[in-house]
Structure 1
């Protein structure tokens, strides 16, 4: 068997594992109140309990039991109380957050007004769909940075691509999963990134939005991994404390999910709602990050 065959076999196995983890996480989110057992989750994933435990921990960084502990409303409320000023602090010290787990080191570059008007003219967007523990994701990247990351509903892959194309109508789209795979790996922690010398370089984002949207998205980048804030917190952080509705709209228009962590914004009451890719996925992302941050 040559090296190409080996790589293809490994890629197929990884994709199968991601789908199994996605099914288990979806089951956890839907049934957390009944506290599903390790055996229950292993059966959903189609594995032995021993194999499932090892694989889940490998791909998510925390055990299934630990993941389950963070799928509660009480956790969200406690984190809101602890982190009510986290954005103000991050702005004051000029950091994106104290947790090294967050950081991917994402830098945001906004388009100029002329580039915005050109609708992506002259840009080549390389795109690919990648399996993740939270479901398939579509990634789009350019020479200047990542411009798109969204989750893909398995029955509507063409719809996700059409949505990206509608945001960048004048750009040239090229399918190139090899170019986008490193972005997916960084976004979902298959490769850890950090500030240590010699570590992975910062991921750059190329953002196309209004001035207000860019300010909101930059504020979201300052929310540490494992933390949550309210829409009011974000509005205060950008100096417009009464603009909660507009902030909510900008959060919902985020074109680069996970890397720009719009899932870390929840209602002041602690209720987790209004995620364009579904509340269960938002709850799963938060539990994953909170569990990893607690492990740190």
Structure 2
């Protein structure tokens, strides 16, 4: 078994533990101790502590605070990006946006309207910190990333393939592996091929300007793309984001601080926000 797979499987196992913790914490009105949580998961407290610390960079007790429902509201108060910088840069695209250092290229509106006709898209399933992820990519870069833990692998694949009904799909993990590694911090260039309508691409580009550990609102995005009254349309475009995680639609919240929906399951969204919050805290503590 190669190193890429073993590391990915380990990260996926960590996510499954966190997912179980999310479900347990959601069912409780009181904090759950490490000892109780470990016993319910049939793990020793010390082992669970190590696994959580390795996955999130913080203790399980601190991590539970990140997973609390009101954490989103806290993020809005302390790490809220208004996307003013996105407006100032003119959303020109093609550059290295914020801390993601993403290189991207958009498909022309005419080609997008053809439903992917003439396009060959490579596909493959990989392990990730948030469970199994479906990656899709052209010769330019990733055009799709979707998480199948909540929706199931078959339904996830059908959902993504239906977005480009006239494209040709080929299984090819080798082609995609470097981009998937880069997406989850393994180094290398994070290359994207955005396939969407012009308004959708403007919204996705705005999302790329939201830093790790920060959040934004649908209203902020609407202002950033020059359509302040199009909040509902922005929400629809966010929901149709084809490259989850790299285009961080999980960082978009309602103005009230509620998480809102997430196409691949709210537990995945909450785990992503918690993961990034822990990462940001660890960085600031250095």
Q: TM-score band, normalised by the shorter chain?
A: 0.7 to 0.9
TM-score (norm 2): 0.84
Mean CA deviation greater in 272-281 or 284-293: 272-281
The Cα shift of 1:254 comes to 0.5
User: Any stretches of 5+ residues in structure 2 without a counterpart?
Assistant: 93-97
Residues 228/85 of structure 1: CA separation in 2 closer, same or farther (3 Å cut)? closer
1:11 paired residue number: 5
Tell me, yes or no, if the aligned pair for 1:219 and 1:238 is still in contact at 8 Å.
yes
1:211 paired residue number: 198
Query: 1:128-166 CA distances to partner (integer Å, 9 max, x unpaired)?
Result: 111223221100111111010001147732222222221
2:88 matches 1:92: yes
Provide the C-alpha distance between the structure 2 equivalents of 1:259 and 1:240, rounded to a whole number of angstroms: 24
Tell me, yes or no, if the aligned pair for 1:28 and 1:36 is still in contact at 8 Å.
no
User: 3-state SS of the aligned residue for 2:105?
Assistant: strand
Tell me, yes or no, if the aligned pair for 1:223 and 1:264 is still in contact at 8 Å.
yes
The Cα shift of 1:94 comes to 7.4
2:226 paired residue number: 239
Residues 141/13 of structure 1: CA separation in 2 closer, same or farther (3 Å cut)? closer
| CA RMSD of superposed structures (Å) | 2.8
Provide the C-alpha distance between the structure 2 equivalents of 1:128 and 1:64, rounded to a whole number of angstroms: 32
User: 3-state SS of the aligned residue for 2:100?
Assistant: coil
User: 3-state SS of the aligned residue for 2:128?
Assistant: coil
The Cα shift of 1:27 comes to 2.4
2:264 matches 1:270: no
2:30 paired residue number: 34
Mean CA deviation greater in 170-179 or 220-229: 170-179
Runs of 4+ in 1 over 6 A off after TM superposition: none
The Cα shift of 1:76 comes to 2.1
Provide the C-alpha distance between the structure 1 equivalents of 2:246 and 2:131, rounded to a whole number of angstroms: 16
Residues 274/114 of structure 1: CA separation in 2 closer, same or farther (3 Å cut)? same
User: 3-state SS of the aligned residue for 1:120?
Assistant: coil
Query: 1:27-79 CA distances to partner (integer Å, 9 max, x unpaired)?
Result: 23223353333344445665443333333333344433332121234432232
Tell me, yes or no, if the aligned pair for 2:81 and 2:214 is still in contact at 8 Å.
no
Provide the C-alpha distance between the structure 2 equivalents of 1:64 and 1:277, rounded to a whole number of angstroms: 24
2:18 paired residue number: 25
Residues 14/88 of structure 1: CA separation in 2 closer, same or farther (3 Å cut)? closer
The Cα shift of 1:107 comes to 2.8
1:260 paired residue number: 247
TM-score (norm 1): 0.82
- Which residues in structure 2 correspond to 1:105-116 (within 5 Å)? 105-116=101-112
The Cα shift of 1:241 comes to 0.9
- Count how many residue pairs are aligned between Structure 1 and Structure 2: 276
